[in-house]
Structure 1
Amino acid sequence: MYIEMLRSATRCRCMITLLVIASSLSVRASDACSPSPIAIRIGNVTLANHQVARGAAIHVGDPPQAFAFLPQWPYNTSFVYGIDGHCTFKRDAPTRDGCTTIRGGAYDAFASKTRQTAYPDDFQTENAPFPETSFAADNLKINEDLTLAEFPLGVALNDWGAEGYHPMASIGLGTNSTFLNKLQESGKIASRTWSFFWGRNGGSSTSQMDGSLVLGGYDRAKLSSGERYLETLQNSTSPCATQMIVTITDMVLNFPNGTDVSIFPGSLSTALRACIVPDYPVLMTLPTEPFVNNFFELTGGAGDHERSFGINYFALRYSADEKRYDGDMTIKFQSGLAVRVPNDQLVVPDIDINPTTGELIANYTNPDLVINGIQNINANDMPQLGRQFLSSAYLMVNQDAGQFSLWAANPATGEDLVAVDANNADITAPCASSAPTIIDSSSSTPSPEHASSSSAGTITGAVVGSVGGLVILATLAFWLIKRRREKLQKASEKTAGGMHFYTGAEAFQQPEPGIKPELPDSSFLVPAELEHPARQNAAPYELAS
């Protein structure tokens, strides 16, 4: 009786201890949350030449040097231009100030106290075309709360032939992006997801608005409705370098009098496969025959047009006395998505860059229709949807899930960030904002397989750790109970006059004195490495009339 009471009391104490530990671990697991997305402002950034360029506002180095980055795909590496911006593609050779605006900033490596030596092994090999670069590592400041220390940056040594199509400093957001990988490894984003809204940059101040590049999720405030159109990223052999292909089934002119007319040829059976290239400088490229010709015939425009060599590179320019289209245009997709482009984003002032000062010059007399008509040897190229398209549509890409999503955009100034996991599902329990963080970027970039799997690890790490802890504690508790039972059995043997209660071999093997049982190997629990970039709050510029 006495022995049984001892055993019951022991079991009760052990169970209470385990329950308390399990409860503590459960609380910790439930407290685990997913990081909130990071929003980088897209807008006018004041550069070192005291002029502005539009892009993602990120600072480099210390003291911080302002840049307007344009994200690029399919590149995984990020690069800037130095104080020699190699602007040889311009018809009028620009000065250093002029080139600084064209490139979205000029990196002065020797002016930065945080610049470190970098080596080729820190950079991924990119397919052509890509500029020849030297190597540097420096701070990228995304916003006031987050900085990536010693982030590897290429510094372009040539123009690389991108002309005005991709002229600016680049953040690589490809399938194995160093930028996204570092943020995910550090636990700053829940998945290698990015979202893009270009904002609006029409001719008047009322038609201008900042956009945003969101990392780790999307901005729900920028969606005109909850209807989401999901597509699969193509493989690396796709003719679309960004792997984002959509099918356009119609393009409709919405005249101010309420009349809607398609520019597609007679039958709606015609469809165009198009590639989304978010940094491309116009709304879209479009075969001149029949689509562009139909556009001008229906709107009363001229047959021949000059091209822009400014910000809206190679867009079609209206002549001074030509009738300009004053309606909207709706692009319809096979998925069911319809995107209406307002007139103030379709017909905009031609904006060029003063080659001497770097100042932006707006020409309202010869405005641009932000469509690049492709013809001759390019007539059969796949059409591209560029950044002006993403003034009216909202794009999210999840590299972990291999999917991209499109919505009709809502040009709102508010912000409602939503985190997304590796399976492309919304996360309902984001973490509270943390204190300012400087993340070390000096670790190597993982392979795509590692980067993909680390996303799930980031999200579920706390739960896995808790389960592992329970297994270890259960093993230890089992051993303690076993040892307690042996002591009680020995005590009961003495109490029972030396009677031996074991049958056959001993049911429990008592460890030798001083020897502890091995705990399960926990080497798979690798600490996350931290890192990351910047943000600037410059007011939108207002173009002169």
Structure 2
Amino acid sequence: MALWRVLWSAIITISTLQIGILAQTCDTTVQSPIVFPVRNVTVEGNRMRRGMRFSYGTPEQNVAVAISAGWNETYIYDENGQCSGLASAACTVGRGGAFNEGSSSTWTGLSSISALNSKDNVANNAGSNGLAGRDKLTINSSLSFDQFSIAIPRKSGPDYSTLGLGPSSRILDIAKNASTIASRSWSLFWGQTGLTDAHTNNGAVVLGGVDETQTTGNNFTGAIRPSVYSSCRSGMIVEVTDMVVSVPGGSSGSLLSGGVQGQGVNYCLEPEFPIITMLLDHWNEWEDIDPDAETSGNAVDRAGGGPNVWGLIYPKQNITKASLTITIAGSLEITIPNHQLVQAYYTFNEDGQMAVNNTISELMINPLQAGNANDIPKLGMTFFQAAYLHVNYDKNQYTLWEAANPTGQNSKFAGVGGSSVGCATPSNSTSSPNNGTTSGGSSSNNDNNNSNNDTGISGGAIGGIVAGVVVGILALAGLAFFFWRRKKQARTGPPSETATPLYDMNATQEKPELMGSYTGHSSSGFYTGKPELASNATAQPVPNWMQPQEVPANVVHRPTVEPQELPSQRYD
């Protein structure tokens, strides 16, 4: 046993040395990433919409966009927002703002949306149903792309303006081909949108890199397989092996104990989807654990007239206080705190301003039911307010962490190359790439890969040290295992091989008892019903980012009709 302890100490020491060497080195030739903040964006008419700022045209017009791992093109709505039953201003802000083609001196229109020759089905099939063109995309004062193509939806498209970061992403291809970024990769932390300023923080979208302050601790890496998972546009499927609800000062319990004990459930990562959906069996378990989550006699509606569509609406004083911990593949735990699960319920009034009903709150969970009972559940924006995602198409894989820096402050962004990571730089100096100004998809500087002035340990020396360390660890581990095995008592045979965890997505589900219905939603319109908002609403003391206005308590009704089905597919 003494020998074992000595060997184990040696392994730990050498492993620490190896990690220390790797942590202190970075590749100075790897381009810095492109960083877009996720925050409240001031759009047309001095209105606000949360999202990633997209500055387009000449002069620049700001639009707030979502991030999609399934779309490849960038879809920007213009002043024809294609909303049914909403005032023009409310529609415009709901879509993320509007791009006015006629106000840009550098806009070049294309014959139709199909002229993009896109790999997106909606672009190929829409034909005259959408517009397209090219204009100047401004990243910052030193980086722009003069002829960046966008699609302008008409009858089909995302719920609101969206930056396409799919496997054939136009913006990733352009930036990589111009040597502006080192890899066709991107990362996302959506930030936080809590009920108080303390729980409201900016996020960031990073093209060609990561925020190193977020990527610490345990992680999970999976393959991207969009052709295999047709029901998950992103191709990123995670196996959720547990979901635990924790009520402060009360009970806690697993949601996977009701009929699916010991089995995992496939979830689709969909960053542009506003909330989290879950199987009805699991929601029923939540209600059993947490009485405040019960929908019967408690929840009054489903959100159908606001950005966070499909969430459950509760009286503010009766909503759950629980947090939700999601376990990925039996190894990575990501906890979504209550201050992110429960949000203020807001819509946009006829003037396009945020309007909050202070008598109710929204739980960012949608139990799948009726016609959607067999849909694959989704982890949307709410999940990415607690999780950090890095997607690398050059390696055809994605990696998840629990966000280690939920405030998003003091971030350190580093570029990611083929097999190396660049040197991290502070968040206030990362938007300009190492290669200098890029315009129209070309770099203004020569390749500086051969002019590294770093006088520290050479890459070859570091490689030799690391290789030696690895060999030493393996040798010591083998020797330790030899002595341990000799002392080990005989045990039973190897564990029996188990089948891949599955859940029967075709099982019959019952509807939850909701005391009302939600407004129907279609893929061709942002909302199909207009929320009842007072035109003379007044400001209320809720988070500064929302600039809220009071609305009547009857913004949520209790219709006598049964809950409607969600569309089986959100996009055409």
Tell me if TM exceeds 0.5: yes
The alpha-carbon deviation at position 265 of structure 1 amounts to 2.1
Out of 175, 193, 206, the residue aligned to residue 214 of structure 1 is: 206
**Structure 1 residues 299-448: aligned runs within 5 Å:** 299-301=290-292, 302-304=294-296, 305=299, 306-309=301-304, 310-319=306-315, 323-354=318-349, 356-409=350-403, 410-412=405-407, 413-423=409-419, 425-428=420-423, 433-434=433-434, 437-441=437-441
Is 1:270 paired with 2:266? no
Structure 1 SS opposite 2:44: coil
State whether residues 212 and 424 of structure 2, in contact with CA within 8 Å, keep that contact through their aligned partners in structure 1.
no
Shift of 1:187: 0.9
Bigger mean CA deviation after superposition, 399-408 or 135-144: 135-144
- 2:233 aligns to what? 241
Contact 2:32/2:434 (<8 A) preserved: no
The Cα shift of 1:459 comes to 13
Distance in structure 2 (CA, Å) of the matches to 1:107 and 1:94: 17
Query: Would you say 1:279 and 2:268 are equivalent positions?
Result: no
Indicate how the Cα distance of structure 1 residues 339 and 543 shifts in structure 2: closer, same or farther if over 3 A, else same: farther
Q: Deviation of residue 319 (structure 1)?
A: 3.6
Residue 84 (str. 1) matches residue 80 (str. 2): yes
Separation in structure 2 between the aligned mates of residue 80 and residue 177 of structure 1, nearest angstrom: 15
Q: 1:233 to 1:335 in 2, by over 3 A?
A: farther
Match of 1:226 in 2: 217
For 1:508-519, list aligned pairs within 5 A.
Answer: none
Instruction: Give the SS at the match of 1:77.
Output: coil
CA distance in 2, matches of 1:234, 1:365: 44
Give the distance between the partners of 2:106 and 2:447, measured in 1 at CA.
34
CA separation of 1:264/1:303 partners in 2, compared to 1, >3 Å: closer, same or farther?
A: same
Q: 2:164 aligns with which of 165, 169, 172?
A: 172
Aligned counterparts of 1:459 and 1:260: Cα–Cα separation in 2: 59
Match of 2:149 among 152, 164, 168: 152
Q: For 2:283 and 2:164, how far apart are their aligned partners in 1?
A: 32
In 1, distance between residues paired with 2:447 and 2:130? 38
Gapped runs of 5+ residues in structure 1? 1-29, 443-457, 464-538
Consecutive unaligned residues in structure 2, runs of 5 or more = 1-25, 451-543, 551-572
- C-alpha contact 1:149 1:438 (8 A) present in aligned 2: no
In structure 2, what is the Cα distance between the partners aligned to 1:433 and 1:184?
A: 12
The two structures have a TM-score, normalised by structure 1, of 0.70
Report the residue type matching 1:84 in the other structure. N
Please tell me whether the aligned partners of residues 72 and 170 of structure 1 are also in contact (alpha carbons under 8 angstroms). Answer: yes
Question: Residue 62 of structure 1 corresponds to which residue in structure 2?
Answer: 58
The answer on whether the counterparts of 2:27 and 2:423 sit within 8 Å (CA) in structure 1 is no
Structure 1 residue 287: Cα displacement: 1.5
Using the TM superposition, give the Cα deviation of residue 327 of structure 1 relative to its aligned residue in structure 2, in angstroms. 2.5
Q: How many residues align?
A: 413
The answer to whether the 8 Å contact 1:205/1:542 transfers is: no
Name the % identity. Answer: 28
Partner of 1:135: 132
Q: Judge conservation of contact 1:47–1:67 (CA < 8 Å) in 2.
A: yes
Separation of aligned partners in 1, 2:342 and 2:321: 8
Deviation at 1:426, TM superposition (A): 2.5
Q: State the Cα distance separating 1:435 from its structure 2 match.
A: 8.3
1:43 aligns with 2:46: no
- 1:72 corresponds, among 68, 72, 90, to 68
> 1:99 aligns to what SS in structure 2?
helix
User: What amino acid does structure 1 have at the position aligned with 2:228?
Assistant: T
Deviations 1:139-159 (A, max 9, x none): 11122221111111112223x
State whether residues 247 and 321 of structure 2, in contact with CA within 8 Å, keep that contact through their aligned partners in structure 1: yes
Q: Distance in 2 between matches of 1:286 and 1:380?
A: 11
CA shift for structure 1 position 297: 2.8
For the residues of structure 1 that align with 2:211 and 2:396, how far apart are their CA atoms? Answer: 20
Q: CA 1:142–1:429 in structure 2 vs 1: closer, same or farther (change >3 Å)? A: closer
Describe the SS at the equivalent of 1:248: strand
Larger Rg: 1
Letter paired with 2:42: T
Given the superposition, is the C-alpha separation of residues 65 and 128 from structure 1 closer, same or farther in structure 2, using an over 3 Å criterion?
Answer: closer
Structure 1 letter corresponding to 2:335 = R
Structure-1 residue corresponding to 2:196 = 204
Question: Is the 1:194–1:213 Cα contact (8 Å) retained in structure 2?
Answer: yes
- 1:93 deviation in Å? 2.3
- Distance in 1, matches of 2:393 and 2:383, equals 21
Look up the match of 2:118.
124
TM-score, length of structure 2 as denominator length: 0.67
Whether the 8 Å contact between 1:34 and 1:459 is mirrored in structure 2 is no
* Secondary structure in 2 matching 1:411: coil
- Inter-CA distance 544–327: structure 2 relative to 1 (3 Å threshold): farther
Cα separation, 2, equivalents of 1:427 and 1:252: 37
1:234 is paired with a residue of what secondary structure?
A: coil
**1:111 has 2:103 as partner:** yes
Per-residue deviation at 1:336?
Answer: 0.5
Q: Tell me how far apart the structure 2 counterparts of residues 416 and 172 of structure 1 sit (CA, whole Å).
A: 24
Per the alignment, residue 285 of structure 2 pairs with 294
Matched-pair contact (CA < 8 Å) for 1:254–1:328: yes
Q: Which amino acid in structure 1 is aligned with residue 344 of structure 2? A: P
Secondary structure at 2:239 match in 1: strand
Give the drift of 1:202. Answer: 1.4
The two structures, once aligned, show a CA RMSD in angstroms of 2.9
User: Could you tell me which amino acid in structure 1 is paired with residue 439 of structure 2?
Assistant: I
Task: Write the mapping of 1:475-490 to structure 2, written as runs, cut at 5 A.
Answer: none
1:260 maps to which of 252, 267, 291: 252
* 1:418-444, Cα deviation, whole Å (9 max, x unpaired): 211234x423599985586242159xx
Name the CA distance, whole Å, in 2 between partners of 1:192 and 1:540: 32
1:79–1:170 CA contact under 8 A, matched in 2 = yes
Deviation at 1:391, TM superposition (A): 0.5
459 and 176 in structure 1: CA distance in 2 versus 1, 3 angstrom threshold: farther
Q: Shift in Å at residue 128 of structure 1?
A: 4.1
Could you list the per-position Cα deviations for residues 514-537 of structure 1 after superposition, in whole angstroms to 9, with x for gaps in the alignment?
A: xxxxxxxxxxxxxxxxxxxxxxxx
SS in 2 for 1:100: helix
Report 1:521-540 matches (<5 A): 540=545
C-alpha contact 1:147 1:438 (8 A) present in aligned 2? yes
Cα 1:31–1:198 change in 2 (3 A) is closer
